[in-house]
Amino acid sequence: MGGLSESLLNHGPVKVFTYEFPNSNLYDNKSKMNIERIKGIKLFRKYRKANLVNNFINENSNIRSVLTDHWKSLELLNKEHLNKSKTICLLHSKEINHEKGSSLNKRLIKSTDKANFIIANSNFTKELAIKVGINSSKIKVIFPGIPKPKVLEDKFKNEAESIFKDAFPKIITVARLEKRKSHDKVLMAIKNL
């Protein structure tokens, strides 16, 4: 979410409401974004955050869009306030995998119905969202971007070459080692080649 927010600065001012964490001021001081940190007991923070966001939207008529990183961030926001601009909600598969008809699923559907656009980070997430009852006409898939690669110093290239030498194939992943990522199937397929 941080990278997306930083990119949005190219299109105008960005106001961020987020929770405080240790040393968050170090990040905030370097950022060009207007960041408001919510402190306090975890149980009450989501209500304080929603209250601050609702007030901000209500008091500012020039907001072009509201972007949330989770359906729970939309849950307590006032629908009338959200109707003043476009609302975008990001989805990740681990946060929406609730049994259809369960109380969490009903909350998920009610929250995502407030959004104009729902951004899934993969086709897997899109299909899961449709399966659990999220309005398919609102879902768009945008694959996560990556920052422009840094130029590597020769010493790091040489170190990598000395580690891997003539190893073949070289498999590198930045994915979490989870069953649904199917690393085991990839390794078996390579073995069978």
Q: Are residues 106 and 20 in the same domain?
A: yes
What is the rounded distance in angstroms from the CA atom of residue 146 to the CA atom of residue 155?
Answer: 24
Residues of the domain holding 44: 2-141
Q: What is the pLDDT of residue 130?
A: 95
The verdict on residue 147 lying in a domain is no
Q: Are residues 171 and 113 in the same domain?
A: no
Least confident of 9-13, 97-101, 127-131, 139-143: 9-13
Q: Are residues 180 and 106 in the same domain?
A: no
Q: What is the pLDDT of residues 61-91, one digit of tens each?
A: 889 899 998 999 999 999 999 998 999 999 9
The verdict on residue 156 lying in a domain is no
Least confident of 54-63, 107-116, 171-180: 171-180
Q: Are residues 106 and 170 in the same domain?
A: no
**DSSP state for residue 84 in the 8-state scheme:** T
Greatest extent of the chain over all pairs of C-alpha atoms, in Å? 62
User: CB burial class (10 A; 0-12, 13-18, 19+) of residue 30?
Assistant: exposed
Q: Are residues 121 and 182 in the same domain?
A: no
Q: Are residues 102 and 180 in the same domain?
A: no
What is the rounded distance in angstroms from the CA atom of residue 121 to the CA atom of residue 142?
Answer: 5
Q: What is the pLDDT of residue 50?
A: 94
Q: Are residues 67 and 36 in the same domain?
A: yes
Q: Are residues 169 and 124 in the same domain?
A: no
For the chain, the domain total comes to: 2
Pairing of strands 15-19, 65-68: unpaired
Helix, strand, or coil (residue 12)? coil
The verdict on residue 152 lying in a domain is no
Q: Are residues 109 and 176 in the same domain?
A: no
The verdict on residue 39 lying in a domain is yes
The verdict on residue 45 lying in a domain is yes
The verdict on residue 118 lying in a domain is yes
Q: What is the pLDDT of residues 83-98, one digit of tens each?
A: 989 999 999 888 888 8
Q: What is the pLDDT of residue 32?
A: 87
Q: Are residues 80 and 171 in the same domain?
A: no
Q: Are residues 55 and 99 in the same domain?
A: yes
Q: What is the pLDDT of residue 1?
A: 65
Q: Are residues 35 and 116 in the same domain?
A: yes
The secondary element (H helix, E strand) that includes residue 18 is: strand 15-19
The verdict on residue 90 lying in a domain is yes
**Per-residue 3-state assignment (H helix, E strand, C coil) for 114-172:** CCCEEEECCHHHHHHHHHCCCCHHHEEECCCCCCCCCCCCHHHHHHHHHHHCCCCCCCC
The verdict on residue 13 lying in a domain is yes
